Amino acid sequence: MTAPAAFDHAMLLAAGLGKRMRPLTDTRPKPLVTVAGRTLADHVLDRLAAAGVRTAVVNVHHHADQMERHLAARTAPRIVISDERAGLLDSGGGVKKALPLLGKRPFVVCNSDSFWIEGPSRNLPRLFAAWDPDAMDILMLVAPTATSIGFDGPGDYMLDAFGRLERRRERAVAPFAYAGVLLIKPQLFQGMPDAFSLNRLFDAAEAKGRLHGRRLDGIWLHVGTPAAIDAAEAQIARSTMA
């Protein structure tokens, strides 16, 4: 199955310092940390390729030369580098800098420190099929916190019966976490500063009722620390034997 034409481009956020993954990230970028014999970056890029995404823009900063050498071996999706060696721009600024490489249609944005074990239905095609540009500015993949691996926070969002997301209030608990994948319109970046967090766009879309979510089918693996690697590998092994 191939992605609809509107989603043949994706952005992989791979420029961060990976401080929580130290000491592993003292000598490599976090996206090149290996889980179950494959790098985090390749786990995400494999899923994008399987969903028909043809071009993935990857931003680089920390150990950028390593990232470029590793990605040069990939043929699908086609890799285009967005160079942030001059300075980190945060998640939103990184995407804004890469907009000329991403085209004018809505595109996919992925974090590089999480992926998932597929359930009965593959998640990216389901997410693409759920996109409704008349009702949505952003569509997120969200994962139930109760069944996620490597995530121990109080959750990020509530999901209503219409698929709209509402951010967790202070001191509250929410049943869903942002699973590190979203669809977004490029127009949202107009007028934004050169460096900013994507959370600003999330909150603006929510205020307009245009931030939507789709529940992940399967098991989300959040790999943000060295300890989370063991937990993810153990879950992959259990799923393989099932």
Is the pLDDT confidence value at 3 over 80?
no
Amino acid letter for position 183: L
Q: Which of 31, 6, 8, 1 is nearest to 18 (CA)?
A: 31
Is the pLDDT confidence value at 4 over 90?
no
Grade residue 170 by pLDDT with cuts at 50, 70 and 90.
confident
Percent of the chain at pLDDT > 90 equals 90
User: Which tens digits make up the pLDDT trace of 124-140?
Assistant: 999 999 999 999 999 99
Q: Report which listed range, 25-29, 43-47, 153-157, is most confident.
A: 43-47
Q: Do 85 and 61 touch, CB atoms closer than 8 A? A: yes
Amino acid letter for position 42: D
Query: Residue length, the chain?
Result: 242
DSSP codes of every residue in the chain: -PPPGGGSEEEEE--S--GGGTTGGGSS-GGG-EETTEEHHHHHHHHHHHTT--EEEEEE-TTHHHHHHHHTT--SSEEEEEE-TT---HHHHHHHHHHHHH-SS-EEEEESSEEEEE-SS-HHHHHHHH--TTT-SEEEEEEEGGG-BS--SS-SEEE-TTSBEEEPPTT---SEEEEEEEEE-GGGGTT--SS--THHHHHHHHHTT-EEEEE-SEEEEE--SHHHHHHHHHHHHHHHH-
DSSP codes of every residue in 141-177: EEEEGGG-BS--SS-SEEE-TTSBEEEPPTT---SEE
Grade residue 152 by pLDDT with cuts at 50, 70 and 90.
confident
Grade residue 239 by pLDDT with cuts at 50, 70 and 90.
confident
User: Which tens digits make up the pLDDT trace of 88-146?
Assistant: 999 999 999 999 999 999 999 999 999 999 999 999 999 999 999 999 999 999 999 99
Determine the pLDDT at residue 2: 45
Backbone φ and ψ of 157, nearest 5°: -140, 155
User: Which tens digits make up the pLDDT trace of 46-73?
Assistant: 999 999 999 999 999 999 999 999 999 9
Walk me through the domains of the chain, giving residue ranges and CATH numbers. Answer: 5-241 (3.90.550.10)
What's the whole-number mean pLDDT along residues 18-26?
89
Amino acid letter for position 201: L
pTM to 2 decimals?
Answer: 0.93
CA distance 139 to 57: 19
